[in-house]
Structure 1
Amino acid sequence: MWKRIDHQLKIKAGDGPQAGQFKELGPGRETAVPHPLSLSEFQTVPVFEDISQHVKEVGDQLVKKVNAIFQLDITKDGKTVHQWTIDLKNGSGDTYLGPARLPADTIFTIPEPVFMELILGKMNPQKAFLAGKFKVSGKVLLGQKLERVFKDWAKW
């Protein structure tokens, strides 16, 4: 037979911490993503803003063709300095700063200089990936669809 047990706490006056029992906390830990004011120092920010504008204009078509969410973790000295999400799966598409709000299909971890070379067409994405210049997790083959989006953006 099951027996119900009441787990509510019974708090009485005077049960709280006594004077002198509090410890002063130091500053919080810094997050991997820098404060937005420091984003101006990165070359990738204007590129993503431009891609965002492109997605706003032709997002409906891109969602039909791509149907995927990409998260790009941009790194510097081996640490993630900012993240961008290109959502070409929901609604009419969206590009925004920060991690994917819904589970990303593919996550790229890529140093900023490598990303800039790829986006400008100075480096072949497949060769760069095989050479270990960046990492991909999730559905790796969807990267080819993202490459086409970038090529489409470059023509735009």
Structure 2
Amino acid sequence: MWKRIDHQPKIKAVDGPQAGQFKELGAAREPAMPHPLELSELQSFPVFEDISHHIKEVGAQLVKKVNAIFQLDITKDGKTILQWTIDLKNGSGDMYPGSARLPADTVFTIPEPVFMELVLGKMNPQ
């Protein structure tokens, strides 16, 4: 990651060298969630699109019934590859990528193949 930005403005120098500017940057932050895979490569991505569409349609009703925030951490080889938050506690409901903006009531950490088996009804969550 970049550590320093060096900017050389194009100005006419009368006497002496041209002035330059630079900005020292702080330590680079690691992304909150690495994305080694493209979203289109994940089997679960269309499922989250469907859930998001459903929340937009009936989110207000779900907020009244559920009143909870869920964070789903989808893993591969023990590392989180995708995070989604389903907020059925505030407003008319929302779903967005990333960790919960407010404290989640429940965090599910689940490998993608297991998540897909649950969604497809091939596995009993009990």
TM-score by length of 2: 0.73
Measured against aligned partners, the alpha-carbon deviations of 1:9-48 in whole angstroms (never above 9, x if no partner) come to xxxxxxxxxxxxxxx99x9464352349821111111110
Which residue does 2:10 correspond to in 1?
none
Q: Secondary structure at the match of 1:124?
A: coil
How many residues are paired up? 102
Quote the Cα distance in structure 2 between the aligned partners of 1:104 and 1:36: 25
Q: Does 1:123 align with 2:106?
A: no
Which residue does 1:61 correspond to in 2?
61
How high is the sequence identity, in percent, across the aligned residues?
Answer: 82
Contact map agreement 1:32 1:81 (CA 8 A) in 2: no
Q: Secondary structure at the match of 1:86?
A: strand
Which residue does 1:8 correspond to in 2?
none
Quote the Cα distance in structure 1 between the aligned partners of 2:63 and 2:36: 28
Which residue does 1:87 correspond to in 2?
87
Measured against aligned partners, the alpha-carbon deviations of 1:62-87 in whole angstroms (never above 9, x if no partner) come to 11110000000000000001100000
Distance 1:111 1:80, change over 3 A: same
Distance 1:83 1:90, change over 3 A: same
- Within 5 Å, which residues of 2 pair with 1:68-147? 68-126=68-126
Question: Which amino acid is 2:104 matched to?
Answer: A
Q: Secondary structure at the match of 1:102?
A: coil
- Normalized per residue, the structure richer in helix is 1
- Normalized per residue, the structure richer in strand is 2
Quote the Cα distance in structure 1 between the aligned partners of 2:57 and 2:89: 15
Distance 1:42 1:124, change over 3 A: same
Question: Which amino acid is 1:88 matched to?
Answer: L
Q: Secondary structure at the match of 2:83?
A: strand
Question: Which amino acid is 1:116 matched to?
Answer: M
Quote the Cα distance in structure 1 between the aligned partners of 2:87 and 2:34: 22
TM-score by length of 1: 0.60
- Give unpaired runs (5+ residues) of structure 2: 1-23
Q: Secondary structure at the match of 1:125?
A: coil
Quote the Cα distance in structure 1 between the aligned partners of 2:113 and 2:90: 30
Q: Secondary structure at the match of 1:123?
A: coil
Distance 1:32 1:102, change over 3 A: closer
Question: Which amino acid is 2:100 matched to?
Answer: A
Distance 1:76 1:37, change over 3 A: closer
